[in-house]
Structure 1
Amino acid sequence: MDHEKVNILLVDDQPAKLLAYEVILKELGENLVVASSGREALEVLLKTEIAVILVDVCMPELDGFELAAMIREHPRFQKTAMIFISAIQVSDIDRLRGYEMGAVDYVPVPVVPEVLRAKIKVFAELYRKTRELERLNQELEDRVRARTAELENSTAKLRESEQRRSMAIAAGKMGSWDWDWISGDWMWDEGQYRIFGVGPESFEVNPANVQALLHPDDVDQLRKAIAEFNKGTRAYETEFRIVRPDGEVRWCVGTAAATVDDSGRVVRVSGVTVDITERKRAEERQNLLAREVDHRAKNALALAQSIVRLTRADEVKAYVSAVEGRINALARVHTILSLSSWQGAELSKLIDEELAPYSLGGQIILAGPEVQLLPATAQTLALALHELFTNSAKYGALSTRSGRLTIGWQVEDQLLTLSWEESGGPLVMTPKSRGFGTRSLLASVESQLGGQAQFDWRAEGLLCRLKVPLTRKTATAAPGKFDAPSSAELQRASG
């Protein structure tokens, strides 16, 4: 069998003996290296890997024992096999000394070739097997290191993936769970506990406790899911509500998938829970907004219809102007309410919007605190103010440069009182009949808002006082909920 040759060092100060050893050991097929002294042997050892050293005990300068001691002091050669050849009778003390110096065997002179070859062969094979075992051990260690590094890399990637999954689940308000269908054991991750508003230290995950957190109206969803899996369903998805221990209701969507054995029996169910409460609330807000937009559109159309139907004028131009003015007033308050997301409007802003088209300089004095009006109240007062401004610009104080107008308001016990006082304008006479503006103002303030509208047609100028409750149910219902006065209401208000 082919094998790797090993180096055998032959050390003797007599060339004839070295030649004899070479002849005897040649048939072993190993590499034979010779040294004629101890020092030369040391030089060879430092340059060459030696499997077995055959050394003569009796040599000048360094004898075999001294050479063995020096060899053993070097870390590389502490396990190198050394066989002593002795031409003299070796005593037990000398043998003990040799073994202490590192000898592994003795060969007496005259040398028996078969015995020498057998001894050298044994130690050469031992060296070869040892080297092969070291090589195999090194390869095994390399494979172990590589496998360990691979496992560490795989573990790091798995940990990183799990961290990303946990971050994604946390960011997406998700939780994952696992249910052993056979043993009944549950496993929840951190996200699942967070969604249900409980903690692993105080909440035991089992069917009874989980069911207790479900909304009473949605408990059947859990029973239905279990029934579906028992029938062979492999996946199931449903929306349900939970009631946290603090009483908060949350909407969730649950997705579950079953794992089956070879017989098709369900052995495990795993799933993901997603908190969709914000989405549900957004849908509710969107639906509410759609309903309110529809309601406001109907109200606006109803108001426009009332304006068109009840406006009176002697000629088309005057009629168009009156209709446009009233609809523009409605549009202006609509813009103010839209900017506040239909939460309400400041009374002062309504007045400023109605003042804008007139550019009257210092003819008007305003006095009153900041008052936030509900949408219905704001719409009503916007139309009322428009009628008052229009009437004053045509016939009252604002129709002349000398005229003056004072608008003041105050709030007491949630009752808004607004006074409109004109002076310095043309002589005022009590009208024989009420126009559309007066009739709509009375109908809206009194019928819709439960307030009062009082007119005093003084000779020096109109004095109007409006009283509007700020907390009346009709005014505080839903933002933007405003019903235009009907024709019948307008007629009743007109007397």
Structure 2
Amino acid sequence: MDQEKVNILLVDDQPAKLLAYEVILKDLGENLVIASSGREALEVLLKTEIAVILVDVCMPELDGFELAAMIREHPRFQKTAMIFISAIQVSDIDRLRGYEMGAVDYVPVPVVPEVLRAKIKVFAELYRKTRELERLNHELEDRVRARTAELEASTAKLRESEQRRSMAIAAGKMGSWDWDWISGDWMWDEGQYNIFGVGPENFEVNPANVQALLHPDDVDQLRKAIAEFNKGTRAYETEFRIIRPDGEVRWCVGTAAATTDESGRVVRVSGVTVDITERKRAEERQNLLAREVDHRAKNALALAQSIVRLTRADEVKAYVNAVEGRINALARVHTILSLSSWQGAELSRLIDEELAPYSLGDQIKLAGPEVQLLPATAQTLALALHELFTNSAKYGALSTRAGRLAIDWQVDEELLTLSWEESGGPLVKTPKSRGFGTRSLLASIESQLGGQAQFDWRAEGLLCRLEVPLTRKTAAAAPSKFDTAGAAELQRASG
């Protein structure tokens, strides 16, 4: 017998992609309905019964997340399967947002035809079977009403058991159970055993054994549930933790409902257990990320505040240029670290970013191996390099075409040594006092990183040597014996 076709809604603002999805899915033999925008998709849903929705995340006016939220608000579509297609890298937060909006799966671009067909087929079959089950249930209820009360009770019990099993299979990571309140007998399905990490061959289901698998802090939840049902409560739901025999802790949410006899006495309690460990971990990751973003934002603001406080200039324009230059340097290294998910930054990349605003041709010579810097080290060193480049462009070798600059670095036993040597520029004189650039450079390298900074104001050009520890342990060491007056001043100003 030919099975009934179901409607699959394809939503994308690009005709070429819609055509590609039609070609991929036509072999399924289902009805493919096309919508070129979110609003058109909503109009189709109001007129047509849809089994599965395939929607592009990135669309103008109404994107995939917004469309999903509007669909889920309508009672008719709260259980409609939605699959997101995304052409961009999807982060854990984006996935969490998509699942909160009602998505059941993600498909990345480029789309693998076999994978897409398989996903759509599963949800189309689930929709078809659900509709068939609903029709069968209506027919069964009509027959049951015409039979005796004993047959009606037996059939209702079977239907309830099948409904619990279907729900557990469809949702995944779910289990169902029955507890005969009178005899004390328990029944667990396969999903329940899987959640608790035990098997029917070596685990006897009884209150004592179940309680032994509960987290000690959550045992009272079981006692409270029993007490509530004895008081006449008909339904109960709670979150709890279990400790599997292998020691793994899992989070679960349990829902239970009581069945009573004619006198109102509880005779059976049935329930469903859902493993929500992944959801809990996602919430923890989201909270950790929020705290990390807050920490980094405060650090960036503290640095910016120090820059604004300590920058000195005779004119407003010069002051604004100096502040903007230093904050832009901080922004550039922040972008580099963001692209690496704050894992670190290459030293050569930091130097290239500082060189970008200048057209210096062959005036600069670089030499050194690839060096990966920790985020804190990268931020501090980027600001130090910015000060060196800025001073050189204003007063040193880079202020004239005849000037030359050589930067070389090496690493020995987790200690980075960077040499900055200028030549061919204007005649150099030892400054009578140190400006903010020199003071902040000393403060950042010596106090913050536990390194050393040396300046040699030679007549032919500045020679600067920076020694920076590359490990967290050494970077936390005490300031060196070199001049740290600038460091103290910077610390007081940013205090």
**Alignment TM-score > 0.5, same fold:** yes
Q: How far has the Cα of 1:346 moved from its partner?
A: 2.2
Counterpart-to-counterpart distance in 1, 2:87 and 2:315: 154
Q: In 2 relative to 1, CA 147–315 (structure 1 residues): closer, same or farther, beyond 3 Å?
A: same
The percent identity for this pair of structures is: 94
Matched position secondary structure for 2:411 = strand
1:127 aligns with 2:127: yes
Q: In 2 relative to 1, CA 313–254 (structure 1 residues): closer, same or farther, beyond 3 Å?
A: same
Task: Find the counterpart in structure 2 of residue 19 from structure 1.
Answer: 19
Counterpart-to-counterpart distance in 2, 1:163 and 1:28: 28
Preserved contact between residue 376 and residue 479 of structure 1 (Cα < 8 Å): no
Counterpart-to-counterpart distance in 2, 1:143 and 1:240: 41
Preserved contact between residue 448 and residue 485 of structure 1 (Cα < 8 Å): no
Q: In 2 relative to 1, CA 278–182 (structure 1 residues): closer, same or farther, beyond 3 Å?
A: same
- Which is further off, 339-348 or 233-242? 339-348
Matched position secondary structure for 2:4 = coil
Counterpart-to-counterpart distance in 1, 2:196 and 2:270: 17
Q: In 2 relative to 1, CA 56–461 (structure 1 residues): closer, same or farther, beyond 3 Å?
A: closer
Q: In 2 relative to 1, CA 362–161 (structure 1 residues): closer, same or farther, beyond 3 Å?
A: farther
- Which is further off, 344-353 or 17-26? 17-26
Structure 2 stretches of 5 or more lacking a match? none
Q: In 2 relative to 1, CA 235–428 (structure 1 residues): closer, same or farther, beyond 3 Å?
A: same
Q: How far has the Cα of 1:430 moved from its partner?
A: 2.0
Task: Find the counterpart in structure 2 of residue 91 from structure 1.
Answer: 91
Preserved contact between residue 447 and residue 484 of structure 2 (Cα < 8 Å): no
Preserved contact between residue 82 and residue 104 of structure 2 (Cα < 8 Å): yes
1:106 aligns with 2:112: no
Once the two structures are superposed, residues 267-325 of structure 1 have per-residue CA deviations (whole angstroms, 9 ceiling, x without a partner) of 22211112222211221122122222222222222211111111011111111100000
Q: In 2 relative to 1, CA 449–196 (structure 1 residues): closer, same or farther, beyond 3 Å?
A: farther
- Which is further off, 19-28 or 224-233? 19-28
Preserved contact between residue 310 and residue 493 of structure 2 (Cα < 8 Å): no
Counterpart-to-counterpart distance in 2, 1:99 and 1:319: 49
Preserved contact between residue 254 and residue 273 of structure 1 (Cα < 8 Å): yes
Matched position secondary structure for 2:49 = coil
Q: How far has the Cα of 1:433 moved from its partner?
A: 1.3
Once the two structures are superposed, residues 83-120 of structure 1 have per-residue CA deviations (whole angstroms, 9 ceiling, x without a partner) of 99999999999999999999999999999999999999
- Which is further off, 260-269 or 483-492? 483-492
Counterpart-to-counterpart distance in 1, 2:90 and 2:458: 154
After superposition, the CA RMSD in angstroms is: 34.9
- Which is further off, 69-78 or 124-133? 69-78
Alignment: residue pair count: 495
Matched position secondary structure for 1:33 = strand
Q: In 2 relative to 1, CA 37–138 (structure 1 residues): closer, same or farther, beyond 3 Å?
A: same
1:28-39 map, 5 Å: none
Q: In 2 relative to 1, CA 229–393 (structure 1 residues): closer, same or farther, beyond 3 Å?
A: same
Preserved contact between residue 442 and residue 493 of structure 1 (Cα < 8 Å): no
Q: How far has the Cα of 1:75 moved from its partner?
A: 66
Preserved contact between residue 302 and residue 494 of structure 2 (Cα < 8 Å): no
Q: How far has the Cα of 1:56 moved from its partner?
A: 92
- Which is further off, 480-489 or 174-183? 480-489
Q: In 2 relative to 1, CA 182–423 (structure 1 residues): closer, same or farther, beyond 3 Å?
A: farther
Preserved contact between residue 252 and residue 276 of structure 1 (Cα < 8 Å): yes
1:378 aligns with 2:386: no
Once the two structures are superposed, residues 455-476 of structure 1 have per-residue CA deviations (whole angstroms, 9 ceiling, x without a partner) of 2223332222222223325979
Counterpart-to-counterpart distance in 2, 1:364 and 1:58: 44
Q: How far has the Cα of 1:146 moved from its partner?
A: 17
Counterpart-to-counterpart distance in 1, 2:89 and 2:398: 149
Task: Find the counterpart in structure 1 of residue 115 from structure 2.
Answer: 115
Q: In 2 relative to 1, CA 305–214 (structure 1 residues): closer, same or farther, beyond 3 Å?
A: same
Q: In 2 relative to 1, CA 35–487 (structure 1 residues): closer, same or farther, beyond 3 Å?
A: closer
Q: In 2 relative to 1, CA 290–5 (structure 1 residues): closer, same or farther, beyond 3 Å?
A: closer
TM-score, normalised via structure 1 length:
0.62
Preserved contact between residue 443 and residue 484 of structure 2 (Cα < 8 Å): no
Task: Find the counterpart in structure 1 of residue 49 from structure 2.
Answer: 49
Counterpart-to-counterpart distance in 1, 2:461 and 2:83: 141
Matched position secondary structure for 1:59 = coil
Q: In 2 relative to 1, CA 221–455 (structure 1 residues): closer, same or farther, beyond 3 Å?
A: farther
Preserved contact between residue 344 and residue 375 of structure 1 (Cα < 8 Å): yes
- Which is further off, 409-418 or 434-443? 409-418
Preserved contact between residue 53 and residue 80 of structure 2 (Cα < 8 Å): yes
Q: In 2 relative to 1, CA 386–262 (structure 1 residues): closer, same or farther, beyond 3 Å?
A: same
Preserved contact between residue 448 and residue 474 of structure 1 (Cα < 8 Å): no
Matched position secondary structure for 2:257 = strand
Preserved contact between residue 71 and residue 77 of structure 2 (Cα < 8 Å): yes
Counterpart-to-counterpart distance in 1, 2:190 and 2:239: 21
Q: How far has the Cα of 1:52 moved from its partner?
A: 68
Q: In 2 relative to 1, CA 156–71 (structure 1 residues): closer, same or farther, beyond 3 Å?
A: closer
Q: In 2 relative to 1, CA 208–318 (structure 1 residues): closer, same or farther, beyond 3 Å?
A: same
Counterpart-to-counterpart distance in 2, 1:138 and 1:284: 44
Q: How far has the Cα of 1:200 moved from its partner?
A: 2.6
Once the two structures are superposed, residues 229-267 of structure 1 have per-residue CA deviations (whole angstroms, 9 ceiling, x without a partner) of 222221111111222222222222111111222232222
Task: Find the counterpart in structure 2 of residue 270 from structure 1.
Answer: 270
Counterpart-to-counterpart distance in 2, 1:96 and 1:325: 38
TM-score, normalised via structure 2 length:
0.62
Q: How far has the Cα of 1:363 moved from its partner?
A: 2.2
Counterpart-to-counterpart distance in 1, 2:108 and 2:386: 137
Once the two structures are superposed, residues 362-393 of structure 1 have per-residue CA deviations (whole angstroms, 9 ceiling, x without a partner) of 22222333333222222111111111111111
Preserved contact between residue 408 and residue 419 of structure 2 (Cα < 8 Å): yes
Matched position secondary structure for 1:133 = helix
Q: How far has the Cα of 1:150 moved from its partner?
A: 20
Q: How far has the Cα of 1:425 moved from its partner?
A: 2.4
